[in-house]
Amino acid sequence: MSQSKRVVLIQPASAGGNFEYIAIPRQGMLFLSGALGQWDGQYQYERQIWFEDRVGLIDPDKDLDGVDILLVTALINEAPRAYQLAALAKEYHPDLITIGGGPQMSPLPEEAIRLGKFDVIVNREGEDIIGQLCDVLIEHKSSSMLDSYLENISGISYMRDGNVIQTKRVGLVAPDFVELPDYLSIKDLSPDNPMAGGVLETVRGCTENCSTVRLSSNS
């Protein structure tokens, strides 16, 4: 029988607003949570998704008591809060496993590990590896064999002897790897407390074949 572990997934509060005028969660944490929910491995994962712009700031001390794994994503304007809460989480709970990712941390893993004290940064979409990664970190974090397990997981970064190790990215995540985003695990989401809006992704990534992209402030 699989052992149960607690996971909290956080989209940190943004510094000065995001793309949305209302707090609509991005899809990454919803699909990662769904992937952990369907994972058939050594452990079962009880998930809670915490969107700080919607429900308020998490207390890294009290709210993470008894949690086994913390997953944090960040855009650039969420990075200060992401690094702050992840570092505080490690300070209050030294045995807590912390994993970072998203648009800011994925291309800058050294910054994220240094400032946020993360154990591992995912450098890609992670639905297909998150269950294996969590199992490995729980089972082998204190083992001398941890490196040999991590180096076989594609598209991640971690520290070894003071240097950042990046494993090779292999393959693409199938669009239907997780059939539906895991709205059921969102903190404080209920018929009496609904979201103002939501997104249901129908394609992964961009469907165009552009050579250049220019962003304009005018719509």
pLDDT value of residue 172: 83
Measure the CA–CA gap between 80 and 75, rounded to whole angstroms.
Answer: 10
Q: What parts of the chain have a pLDDT lower than 70?
A: 1, 16-23, 201-207, 213-219
What is the per-residue pLDDT for 17?
Answer: 57
pLDDT of 52? 94
Predicted confidence at residue 210, as pLDDT, reads 76
**What residue ranges define each of the domains in the chain, with the CATH number in brackets?**
3-185 (3.40.50.280)
Query: Residue 68: its pLDDT value, please?
Result: 98
| 8 Å CB contact between 7 and 68 | yes
Q: Say how far apart CA 28 and CA 2 lie, in whole Å.
A: 26
Residue 7, H or E segment: strand 3-11
Instruction: Report phi then psi at 128, rounded to 5.
Output: -80, -15
- Contact criterion met (CB below 8 Å) for 134 and 36: yes
- CA distance linking residue 169 with residue 176, whole number of Å: 19
pLDDT tens-place string over residues 163-182: 999 999 888 888 889 988 99
Strand 3-11 relative to strand 43-51, pairing:
parallel
Q: Which of 53, 63, 46, 35 is nearest to 5 (CA)?
A: 46
Task: Convert the pLDDT of each residue in 51-91 to its tens digit.
Answer: 998 899 999 999 999 999 999 999 988 999 999 999 999 99
What is the C-alpha separation between 170 and 190, in angstroms, rounded? 38
